[in-house]
């Protein structure tokens, strides 16, 4: 059906308009979460996509803690008249019909525009949710980059500290073993080593 070729957002808006009296704003918020997740799962088309493959549909159901399997969803859709054969991809409309147990015939024949005011409010809500998600995603990326930089800095610090301690241990051992000349030489090297200012290490620990 041409409805399933629309973007996930357009499909959700159509679904919401068809069943607004049953869903209301609470249902609208759930739908917007579904639209957002579909966009994440559709790596190729993102928000412009209309469907996902069955494996992604399974991950979708798992993400929202749905007990229904993809096979059970297909059976529900088949009994509702939404599909006749096994679909290659799963549009969000199919997921919504199965989730809310709605009539396929009622959905595709629903008159759009009867709830214009509610629909406009719902669309505005969706845009707010999408904007908030993008902002949160950007913050998460910044945090991940900062954490990665911190890990690199800590690894570098540990390498410097290990090298410093290894040299201290090696010179200490040499200053206590061998002949007098070699011991004195090692003692001098150790004194110089310990007298050096390990500034990078101190700065990193402050």
Per the DSSP assignment, residues forming a β-bridge with 51 are: 91
Mean pLDDT of the chain: 80
Q: Which of 41, 19, 42, 43 is nearest to 31 (CA)?
A: 19
Distance CA 187, CA 193 (A): 10
Cβ-contact 70, 61 below 8 angstroms: yes
Look up residue 184 and give its two tokens.
Answer: 């004195």
What predicted TM-score, i.e. pTM, was given to this entire model? Answer: 0.54
Res. 206 pLDDT band, cuts 50 70 90: very low
CA 100 to chain centre: 25
Distance CA 53, CA 112 (A): 28
Per the DSSP assignment, residues forming a β-bridge with 204 are: none
Q: Which of 67, 96, 101, 73 is nearest to 4 (CA)?
A: 96
pLDDT in tens, 91-123: 898 888 888 888 888 888 876 655 666 667 666
pLDDT in tens, 166-205: 888 888 888 888 788 888 887 888 888 787 766 555 555 5
Cβ-contact 12, 92 below 8 angstroms: yes
Per the DSSP assignment, residues forming a β-bridge with 53 are: 89
């Amino acid at each position: 059906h041409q409805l399933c070729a629309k973007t996930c957002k357009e499909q959700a808006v159509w679904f919401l308009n068809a069943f607004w009296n049953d869903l209301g704003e609470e249902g609208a918020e759930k739908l917007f979460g579904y639209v957002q997740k579909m966009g994440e799962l559709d790596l190729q088309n993102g928000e412009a996509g209309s469907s996902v493959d069955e494996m992604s549909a399974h991950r979708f159901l798992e993400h929202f803690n749905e007990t229904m399997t993809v096979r059970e969803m297909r059976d529900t859709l088949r009994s509702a008249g939404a599909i006749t054969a096994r679909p290659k991809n799963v549009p969000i409309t199919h997921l919504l019909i199965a989730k809310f147990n709605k009539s396929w015939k009622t959905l595709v024949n629903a008159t759009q525009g009867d709830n214009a005011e509610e629909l406009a409010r719902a669309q505005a809500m969706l845009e707010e949710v999408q904007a908030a998600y993008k902002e949160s995603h950007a913050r998460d990326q910044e945090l991940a980059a900062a954490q990665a930089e911190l890990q690199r800095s800590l690894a570098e610090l540990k390498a410097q500290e290990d090298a410093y301690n290894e040299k201290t241990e090696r010179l200490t051992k040499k200053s206590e073993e061998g002949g007098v000349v070699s011991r004195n030489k090692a003692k001098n090297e150790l004194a110089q080593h310990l007298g050096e200012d390990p500034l990078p290490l101190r700065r990193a620990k402050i």
